[in-house]
C-alpha cells in the first residue's frame, strides 16, 4: 500500500482541514509501532477513543490505546476490549443517558457493532502521512460537501449506495468497527461524545474506508474529478444576472452623453 500516494490524493481532491487518520487494531503490545503516545503512560490520564482519533487528526500525534487508556467504556466495548455483559445489553446502566427509557437503551446496546472480545487489545491511530503501519481503516473528517465527494468516489465503479446508520453518538463504532465488520465504506453523522468530548465541529461528519476499498476510492476520486465533480464545489457562473429595473435605468442614464 502506497500510503503517501493515498494521502496526496485525499489532500488534492478532498482538501480536509484535519489529517486523515490511519487506524489499526493489534493483538499485543509488541505490535504497537515505535514513537506513539499512550494516554495513561504519556498524558497521565485515560481519554475517550474519539478523543484519541481527534489527537491524531488535529495534533498529528500517533496514538495507541488499550482498555486502560479508555475513559469511555463504549469505545472499549465496540472494539472488543471489554465484553458486553447482561446488564449493559438490557439497558440497566444509564448509557446513553439521554434516551427515553431502559428499553431504548437496551435496543441501542444490542445494536452496537462489536468486534470479537479479546481478538485485539490495542488500537493504533496516526495521521495517514506518518503512519508506519498498514491501516485497516482510514477515517476522514470533513463537511457534508467533502464527504459527498467520497461517497461519489465509492459508487463510481459499482453504483452501490454507501449505507450507514447513526444513533447520534458512538461514531467510533461506525468508523472503525462497522467498517471492519462489513468491509464497506461508512459515513457517520457524529454526535454525543465526538462533539462534546473530542470537539468535532458543528459542520463536521466522518467517512471511513476499509483497506479493501482504498483503491476504489482513489480511482473514483480521480475519475469523478475529471468528469467535473469537484471540491470545492464548482459554481455555475455563466448566466445573465437579474437586477431591479433601477439598475438598467442607471446604466442607460450613465451611458448617455451629458
Residue numbers of the domain that contains 184: 3-233
Residue 17 lies in a domain: yes
Name the H helices within the chain.
3-13, 49-54, 73-78, 86-89, 102-111, 144-155, 171-172, 179-182, 193-196, 214-226, 245-255
**Residue 64 located in a structural domain:** yes
Q: Cell numbers 459527498 label which residue?
A: 148
* pTM, full prediction: 0.92
246 domain residue, yes or no: no
In a domain, 241, yes or no: no
pLDDT tens, residue order, the chain (258 aa): 699 999 999 999 999 999 999 999 999 999 999 999 999 999 999 999 999 999 999 999 999 999 999 999 999 999 999 999 999 999 999 999 999 999 999 999 999 999 999 999 999 999 999 999 999 999 999 999 999 999 999 999 999 999 988 898 899 999 999 999 999 999 999 998 999 999 999 999 999 999 999 999 999 999 999 999 999 998 899 999 999 999 999 999 999 865
Amino acid at each position: 500500500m502506497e500510503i503517501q500516494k493515498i494521502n496526496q490524493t485525499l489532500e488534492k481532491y478532498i482538501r480536509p482541514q484535519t489529517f486523515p487518520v490511519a487506524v489499526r487494531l493489534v493483538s499485543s503490545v509488541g505490535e504497537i509501532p515505535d514513537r506513539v503516545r499512550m494516554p495513561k503512560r504519556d498524558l497521565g490520564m485515560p481519554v475517550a477513543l474519539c478523543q484519541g482519533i481527534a489527537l491524531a487528526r488535529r495534533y498529528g500525534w500517533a496514538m495507541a490505546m488499550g482498555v486502560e487508556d479508555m475513559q469511555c467504556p463504549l469505545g472499549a466495548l465496540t472494539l472488543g476490549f471489554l465484553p458486553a455483559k447482561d446488564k449493559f445489553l438490557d439497558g440497566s446502566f444509564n448509557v446513553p443517558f439521554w434516551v427515553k427509557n431502559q428499553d431504548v437503551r437496551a435496543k441501542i446496546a444490542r445494536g452496537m457493532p462489536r468486534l470479537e472480545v479479546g481478538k485485539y487489545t490495542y488500537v493504533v491511530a496516526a495521521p495517514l502521512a506518518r503512519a508506519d503501519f498498514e491501516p485497516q481503516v482510514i477515517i476522514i473528517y470533513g463537511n457534508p460537501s467533502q464527504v459527498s465527494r467520497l461517497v461519489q468516489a465509492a459508487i463510481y465503479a459499482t453504483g452501490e449506495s454507501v449505507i450507514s446508520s447513526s444513533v447520534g453518538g458512538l461514531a467510533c463504532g461506525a468508523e472503525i468497527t462497522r467498517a471492519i465488520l462489513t468491509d464497506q465504506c461508512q459515513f457517520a453523522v457524529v454526535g454525543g461524545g465526538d462533539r462534546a468530548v473530542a470537539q468535532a465541529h458543528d459542520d463536521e461528519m466522518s467517512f471511513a474506508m476499509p483497506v479493501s476499498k482504498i483503491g476504489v476510492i482513489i480511482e473514483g476520486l480521480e475519475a469523478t474529478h475529471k468528469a467535473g465533480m469537484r471540491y470545492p464545489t464548482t459554481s455555475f457562473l455563466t448566466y445573465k444576472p437579474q437586477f431591479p429595473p433601477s439598475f438598467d435605468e442607471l446604466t442607460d442614464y450613465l451611458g448617455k452623453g451629458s
